[in-house]
A and B are shown apart, each in its own frame.
Chain A
Amino acid sequence: MSRQSNRLVTGGRIDRVKQHSFRFDGTRYSGFAGDTLASALIANGVKLVGRSFKYHRPRGIFSAGIEEPSALVTLRSGGRTEPNVPATVAELYDGLVARSQNAWPSLRLDLMAANGFFKPMLSAGFYYKTFMGPTRKSWMLFEPIIRKAAGLGAASKLADPDRYEKVNLFADVLIVGAGPAGLAAALSAGRMGARVVLADQQSLAGGALLDEPVGSAADAWLQAALGELATMANVRLMTRTTVFGAYDGGTFGLVERVADHKGEPDPFEPRQRYIVLRAASAVIATGAIERPIPFANNDRPGVMLAGAARTYLNRYGVVAGRRVIMMTNNDTAYAAAIDLVAAAAKVTVLDARPSVAGGKAAWAAGKGVEVIPGHAVAQAIGYTEVKGALIAPFDIATGHCGIGFRELPADLILVCGGWDPQVHLATQRGGKAQWRADRLAFLPTGEPDIQIHAGAMQGTFSTPDCLREGHAAGIRAATAAGTKDKSPDLAMPAFAIPDGDPGAGFAPVWDVHPPEALGHQKRFIDFQNDVSASDLELAHREGYVSVEHLKRYTTLGMATEQGKLANVIALAQMARLRQLPIAEVGTTGFRSPYTSVALGALAGHETDQHVRPVRRTPFHDWNVGKRCVFLDTGLWKRAWFYPEGDEDVNGAYRRETKRVRETVGMVDVSTLGKIDVQGPDAAEFLNRVYVNGWKTLEIGRARYGIMLREDGFILDDGTTSRLSEHHYFLTTTTAEAAKVMSHLEWLLQTAWPELKVHVTSVTDQWGGLAVAGPNARVMLAEAIPDVDFANDKLPFMGVRMGSADGIAVRVHRVSFSGELAYEVFCASGHGHGLARHLERVGARHGLVVYGVEALGALRIEKGHIAGAELDGRTTLEDLHMERMASKAKPYVGSVLRQRAPMTSKERQRLVGLKPVDRKQRIRPGSVLQPHNGPYAGHGLGHVTSTTYSPVLGHSIALGLIQGGEARTGQIVDACYPLKGDTVACEVVPHHFYDPEGLKQNG
């Protein structure tokens, strides 16, 4: 284990008692609890951390936060492998294992760095220029190589073993960011009694205050504020929680990293939690991110943001360099310089401003900082780590270095080019940010919907000012949320940090053009995507004038970068190239998520068996006991078939179908939609909904009905039974149950509110078993002795109430199979008992239990329509149902169904199909074409349903074909291009079995 050579003996917010061991690229190191992987690597003197995306240039740690573009690592292993984690946010834990990315065979010796020799080829628009036009076919050749070489990290192909969950949270006031402004807002809103959620992405609350030395005045204020907040039961502080998106209606998306700071979650603990938070009011105090300044080779390991170096020093007790060169254009950088000098580093500040008299520079100089005004870093020296810098006089007006450059030794080059307010959550709600020249930053133009802005995110860079703004924002937010002030004292805790307004010191520096003599080394703008100043210049030369186009052409701000570091610099350079003010160039919009969110978190607990809810019929457990194989139909688990021995579905359904025709079968039909239609106007309602008449239906009788959509196409079919004067029991197809229910509700609530009718889904209330076959009557007569099953007592479409082994049942004599058949319904809690009773009785009558596959075979033989024919495109005429439609009354769809195209003889109509070669099988979905061609387009029609018919001994099908029954006797080809099948078929009537209905009526 290496010693932590860059760790100071004191200081920082780490727990030096808890030492953590970790590995990076196989080498063992140590750090402390409270470290990030980045701080621990710096403490151990590790500078080379990764390789860049395109050119495989060596990269180090550039920042200390979520904006990190370079130090992206892969954490953990196996199913927990997570690529592209910024080392700057990866909290250190004992046993952490991290690997560098984009290097082969090793980080230090990366052969892919040879890409650097092809830089001119790999410039902006490489793919468009190389793989479009005449050379486009070369993509097929190079794609595997490019895909192997490119990309950011590699995800695991193993299943993620961790749990995730979704949570709904509510708050009067959401405060985003627990920096100075956010904390102050939480204090004032909390004191007023508002229910506050204070969310911060870091492991500790404090934001920029955490960068101040422990024991400082700022730290004292922070501790006092946190102490007071801890006493407020109405304030919930959520650290490790990123608010990544702002949505309609005060809704925010948050992700809480519950266990990412551990090797693996505790038992039953979720790794991450996706929170949907709804707030009455929100304070956005998201702070700002330090902005770099491009210079030649500015991506070398050892180049870092000035504020990051201060973070590592004061928060983690790590000094990132001993010989430091800092380049800046403003006063805020000097705090880092002063603190580093106090930590025994030698610091030289190159201030791009020609004169720095009277500012922080003088104060810093008094503390031992060497300040050289009017200078800049022209080029970093070193490859895998910084060895020094070439510095040169700098003309702030032109952005060019003058003659007279010289070399300074250094192991750390710091840069501070100003601050970019984090306006993402504000602009996600609409409205682009606007340029403010006095802050050299894009700022929100207003406060959208429930948002109230405070602090650095709106260009307030002085800590006392942030506190004041936050305090006021908290009061505004609580008031807006309807909170009545419960606190007589809203005064802020004393804050004794002397500070001016560093914003006044900003000078625009967007690029450092090196002296000609130094050649053309890359000046990176987007480190993560290897986009340099020369790429922007190339895009400009090629005519890209829109910021949105430029972004996509150069890949600037893609991936996790999302404009955090690169955006403003790129816009400023674009403005220079176009000779426009930055304000006129504009900026890109920001979309959620603000930072990466694991897909696992978004899925939450809706994974594995809970991807979607499972719907089980009342007979499910009984079906399981019968070795049933289930078929997922929507959410339902439908009984598909019941294998005997090693039967497959084909063997099982043919046996089941045959037995039903020969003896008797029983099938679970509980998935049918079931709706109670009740009320004095129920008959009138049904009369308007169905195409056929309902006013004459007697109590104890059922009727088959078809309902249309308003446009005249068939919506659904089913039987409806009249149970009492004002009570009808309506069934729908399984597939359309919800649609029919909502259709009926919609009609009652909007079209006919005057009708006294209630419709209630009773699908869950009733379980149903269909009993079909020649022995059905005798079997049920024994099973339900109080119902007279004689044909004249319970005729076809009759309904009776009875009792089966003490279970109250409704018996409906209807048939889907074409056999003598009954549907027996019972309250669902009695389903299991009813099935067992019928099974016991049925055993004496040759009962077979059959599934939906056999059910389909039976109905196709009979020529009954189902979902495949009721596909939303068929009319009554198409399915030979037009004679059902009443001419004596209007009904839904009655007008529009009479449009000429709906009744055209050219429409495709239902027919039966038999293969000419009886050994052949017709595939469902086959396109019907003229026999022996020509085959063209969509053909004459298509096959809707197919099965093997045990009765006929060969394959049969139903189909829709132009001209319909007029083609009876013709031969057509059923073509299935995906399999290369062509089956010659004879067009026949669609009733294959008992067309006269003697069986079902007998």
Chain B
Amino acid sequence: MAERKPSLCYQQNSGKAQNYLVPRIIINKRQVQYSITQKTNLMIAASFEYDAPSTLEEAIGLLQQYGEDAKILSGGHSLIPMMKLRFASPQRVIDINGVPGLSYIKEEKGVLKIGALTREAEIEHSDLLKKKFPIFGDVTKLIADPQVRNRGTIGGNLAHGDAANDHPAAMLALRATVIATGPEGKRSIPIDEFFFGFYQTALQHSEVLTEIQIPIPPKGTGSAYHKFERKVGDYATAGAAVQLTINDKGICTAIGIGLTNVNATPLRAGRSEQFLLNKSLTDDNIAAAAQLASEDCNPSADLRGSEEYKRAMVAVLVKRMIRKAIERTK
């Protein structure tokens, strides 16, 4: 087995996510390009052992046994590319695709429940979501391409803990709750407590993300998401998700705004939300809220644009998505 030598990037990236380096970020610092050329067998993953448990208990048992050395394989469209590039080299891959009962979209007692193993394509074409949560149509259409959406799962999209993924921002806007199942049973994690840092989430090594719960909003609610991307399947230059509720007097009674890829973690535009709450959504108020969001984000300059450009795009997107969400309240 080819051994990975710790490179400068690894030393910089201390903490639990050290196996998980990010190509696009580090390439900007011109470090990974160097280490990539040092490796042979570039597009073949390091050796690992493969398990395909048929029950959740079995999967959790394996996670308990192997801890940090194991990774859950769901859709695999984040994990496998990272393994091929040797940014991740788990010694054990636990494929949960054969675990039954993790793929569903249903409404129960005022809560929308989505199983972690639900594919993006299923979310894209779900009639229930089209009717009640048009934001999911916006989000999934922008995730990679049809082949990837046939495999990628919503649980994987969140558990990957990448601020460049699209679901996290939407989940912030929708105020979702993530259900993790571990040896001690189920645990609810509010979305605001889920993303910790770069590729770091609240999930423990022995836990599997099993469900996403979203409160069904009252009447007069609209939601929308969009991201700027250079081409189909690109990571967002910037992205914004909005869900808002307005009463019959035109006053905003609830609002959630999430931002994609303009911070180390998926970012809630908290000041913008506070600003708009209990106000009428006039053009001036929307513009002021958008301005607050562009001030509060922390984008880094890369191939997709400078920091200033990304801040400007955050303001544009927040404005547009608020307007689109207002339209959808009707």
Bound pair: A and B?
no
